[in-house]
């Protein structure tokens, strides 16, 4: 609960390495997500090279925080891996959220930068990462050491909760 309630989008990072071990933990979290019929239709590109991170600010209008990020994970989907192709984006979204919660638990800052279903973003990330035709870039998650510590937030709204029927 603490990792979930203190998760916030972090777009300002201090210098600091994200080790391969940390990236591996985050990837474990991503792959632990639920998926329709257990299709697990995801692929992940872990990005640590400065030049690769910086270039993302040039291909997405809301991804400037990549310039300060120490690493990032591109979550991709492979719709053909699904018996039910129409669920591929929901499955990928579950993986993204798992990674964000794991990052919060590790006291890292991270943010979900949306790619799919925007056609221009999909095209630009496909080209930038040289993705095969059957792979769809879904979301970009830049990450790093947060400049300010996370605080828990109470967003509970009882007016949005309905019991047994609307």
Ligand X SMILES: Cc1cc2nc3c(=O)[nH]c(=O)nc-3n(C[C@H](O)[C@H](O)[C@H](O)COP(=O)(O)O)c2cc1C
Residues in contact with ligand X by the rule CB under 6 A: 8-9, 11, 62, 111-114
Query: Please, which residue, 31 or 150, has the CB nearer to ligand X?
Result: 150
What is the smallest separation between the CB atom of 121 and ligand X, expressed in angstroms?
8
Q: Which is nearer to ligand X, 33 or 113 (CB)?
A: 113
65 phi/psi in degrees, rounded to 5: -65, -15
Q: What's the min distance (Å) between Cβ of 145 and ligand X?
A: 17
Residue 23 or residue 59: which is nearer to ligand X going by CB?
A: 59
Closer residue to ligand X in complex, CB, 9/148: 9
When CB distances to ligand X are compared, the closest residue is 114
User: From the CB of 150, what's the least distance to ligand X, in Å?
Assistant: 10
Q: Which residues of 1-33 are buried (b: 16+ CB within 10 A; e: fewer)?
A: eeeeebbbebbebeeeebeeebbebbbebbeeb
Minimum Å gap between C-beta 86 and ligand X is 17
Residue with Cβ nearer ligand X (27 or 125)? 125
SS3 label, residue 32: coil
- Return the half-sphere exposure (C-beta side, CA atoms, 13 A cut-off) of residue 162: 4
Query: Would you say 140 and 115 are in contact if contact means Cβ atoms under 8 Å apart?
Result: yes
- Shortest distance (Å) from residue 96 CB to ligand X: 8
Measured CA to CA, the distance from residue 129 to residue 46 in angstroms comes to 11
Continuous H helices in the chain: 2-5, 20-31, 50-57, 88-105, 119-128
């Amino acid at each position: 609960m603490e990792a979930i309630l203190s998760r916030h989008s972090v777009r300002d990072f201090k210098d600091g390495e994200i080790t391969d071990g940390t990236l591996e933990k985050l990837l474990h979290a991503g792959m632990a997500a639920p998926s329709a019929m257990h299709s697990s239709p995801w692929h992940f590109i872990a990005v640590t090279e400065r030049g690769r991170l910086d270039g993302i600010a040039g291909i997405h209008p809301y991804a400037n925080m990549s310039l300060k990020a120490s690493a990032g994970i591109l979550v991709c989907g492979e719709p053909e891996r699904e018996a039910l192709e129409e669920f591929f984006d929901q499955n990928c979204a579950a993986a993204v959220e798992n990674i964000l919660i794991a990052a919060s638990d590790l006291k890292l800052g991270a943010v979900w930068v949306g790619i799919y279903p925007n056609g221009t973003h999909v095209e630009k990330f496909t080209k930038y990462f040289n993705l095969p035709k059957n792979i769809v870039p879904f979301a970009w998650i830049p990450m790093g050491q947060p400049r300010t510590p996370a605080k828990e937030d109470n967003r509970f709204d009882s007016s949005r909760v309905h019991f047994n029927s609307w």
